[in-house]
Amino acid sequence: MSEAQAAAATGDNRDAALTALYDDVHRSHMFPFWATTTEVAHDEIRQLMAGHAAVPYLWRYESEIEPLLRRSAALVSMADSERRSLILVNPGLAPTRATVSTMYTAYRLNDPNEVMPPHRHSPNAIRLGLTGTMNFTGVEGEDIVFGPGDMVLTPQDTWHNHGNKGDEPAVNLSVLDLPLVEVMNALYFEHDYKEEQGGRRVAAKEQSARFSPDYSAEVYGSGGLMPCFVPHERGSGASSPMYVYRWEPVRALLEAHRDRDGDPYEALTVEYVDPTRGGPVFRTMTFFAQMLRPGEKTRPLKQTASLLVAPMEGQGHSIVGDTRFDWRPFDTLALPGGTWCRHVNDSETEPAILFVASDRPALTALGLYKKWGRDGDGDTVRLA
């Protein structure tokens, strides 16, 4: 250390020298990772931890989302935009288009007989039917018409298009891992869909069907039985080859087991899985249907995974930290990783069914997935 530096580090010059040092560090797009004082101005650890973070938040479908969807449908046509979706932006992450740090939820209303042109992208996505029985998604040559509760996959890098084949408006909800893909600098969208016609590639506004409309159910709809006479590497091969999961069998499975004890932290929960591997449908996200029996209350649970919760039936509330969120069908509740949460079915006669999206597969792949609960005595126990 030079004499000038030593002089600057002591006495009355120190504060001025520190201020100049911090100014030069930030001007050079760096961050000083040392703590010289507990004061806010120079507590670097506190500053480092005070960045943008997702917060628990509830979006209400009936009073907030649906009215905005209907207004957008009246004002924005397909001639204006091929997309007409409302993305739920977490207040703690704004203006980033993220509902939790790794995923976003969007709602879309399609007018009758409205079908968008094909496109593909690097994020994985699902569509979940909310209203209407003729929601439409074509995925890699499989034309899928779906209704309330049905979940349709649009895996990364697969050509697909969305719309409505019916005569009534239809609303669906989508979940994408776009924020995760974006932060990894791997985001892309492509819209130049072409098909082979007369020996050359020409632009097409709709995919030609290459599979039967019920292909996913025909091939993969018998649990525990795997057809060996068809290829299973559909699309990019990085997801479940079963592109539609119908609500009816999911609901029937939950109903058939509603008298079981269930899990004290997660009630009756079933996971949507890849039938060829038994794991999650995507490498980045997984999805669940969760039944809370009449009057059921789960114990507090905390995990490193972030969740997006959309009630499909019934009504109840969740206690997240110290905050109560009352929910109804088609709302979305954001539960950032690291938050304590417990769910309560407010009805003493009817079940409540929750659709849940989780980024657990991504965390598991990185060795970062952990889960804790509070037992009947209120003590914290490690669950995973």
pLDDT tens per residue, the chain (384 residues)? 455 555 555 556 877 888 888 889 889 988 777 755 656 566 666 666 666 899 999 999 999 999 999 998 888 876 666 667 899 999 999 999 999 999 999 999 999 998 889 999 999 999 999 999 999 999 999 999 999 999 999 999 999 999 999 999 999 999 999 999 999 999 999 999 999 888 899 998 888 999 998 899 999 998 899 999 999 999 888 899 999 999 999 999 999 999 999 999 999 999 999 999 999 999 999 999 999 999 999 999 999 999 999 999 999 999 999 999 999 999 999 999 999 999 999 999 999 999 999 999 999 999 999 999 999 999 999 999
Q: Does one domain contain both 105 and 243?
A: yes
User: Measured between alpha carbons, how far is 104 from 202 in angstroms, rounded to an integer?
Assistant: 33
Q: Does one domain contain both 12 and 160?
A: no
Q: Does one domain contain both 9 and 68?
A: no
Q: Does one domain contain both 290 and 375?
A: yes
Residue 290 sits in a domain of what CATH number?
2.60.120.10
Side chain identity at residue 3, one-letter code:
E
Q: Does one domain contain both 284 and 345?
A: yes
Domain count, the chain: 2
Which residue's entry shows tokens 């790794």? 102
Parallel, antiparallel, or unpaired for β 316-320 and 341-345? antiparallel
Q: Does one domain contain both 329 and 202?
A: yes
The confidence score (pLDDT) of residue 13 equals 81
What does the block give as tokens for 348?
A: 């003493």
Q: Does one domain contain both 31 and 63?
A: no
Instruction: Give residue 336's domain range.
Output: 57-382
CA dihedral (278, 279, 282, 287) positive or negative:
positive
The confidence score (pLDDT) of residue 37 equals 60
Parallel, antiparallel, or unpaired for β 151-154 and 125-131? antiparallel
